Amino acid sequence: MSRWIQVDEAINNYINEHLEQEQPVLNALFAETAQLEDAQMQISHEQARFMNTVLRSMQIQRCIEIGVYTGYSTLVTAQALSPGGTIIACDLSEEWTSIARRYWQQAGVADRIDLRLAPASDTLAALLDAGDVGQYDFVFIDADKTAYDDYYEQSLKLLRPGGLMMIDNCLWYGQVLDSDSTDGDTRAIQALNKKIAADNRVNSSLVPIGDGIHMVYKQ
């Protein structure tokens, strides 16, 4: 039986020391975002490298991101796109996404990103109404946790068979272990994790990278 180890600070530092070197534009965006009050909303370096590697192996063309923040994960995804690929990026904040747009322009990927400043559920509903069922290769969800179930169901309809969904924060800083929690975000993530594990429409794996990524493969 394989052993597992606790990923403490020393192991985490070792992982980061052995990651592929990031491009200067990614490092600059990460560093600027780290100065913000809500910097914990940004995905980690190791999560970014993991996503980029997985997505390059899929040769993705059409993507959706729900929750852009300052655009680090969007930029990582854009750099993994096959030629001609595009991302529909959903967010509400003009302030945060103004940072994102600046770095997307610097990285030369702005033309691949269709930013839609509106409630994500409305954007997804519009895509479904436009006939985009089963047309997307990849969806990344990292937004308001109480809406995760709605995003999951809408995204599953938009994904093609064989498409991949990644859902961030599915370990929720360990709070998912508290079965008595009354926190709305915690309860929403607990419920979605349980739902995905029993969902016969998908194959899934809850991966302990960053704050936990639920990887969902649509059958």
85-134 residue pLDDT tens: 999 999 999 999 999 999 999 999 999 999 999 999 999 999 999 999 99
Q: Which two tokens stand for residue 170?
A: 């599915």
Q: Is there a domain that residue 8 lies in?
A: no
pTM: 0.95
- CATH number at 126 reads 3.40.50.150
Q: Do 63 and 137 touch, CB atoms closer than 8 A?
A: yes
Name the domain count of the chain.
1
Is residue 7 pLDDT above 90, yes or no? no
- Asked if residue 24 is part of any domain, the answer here is yes
At 5, is the secondary structure helix, strand, or coil?
coil
Query: What's the average model confidence in pLDDT over 173-186?
Result: 97
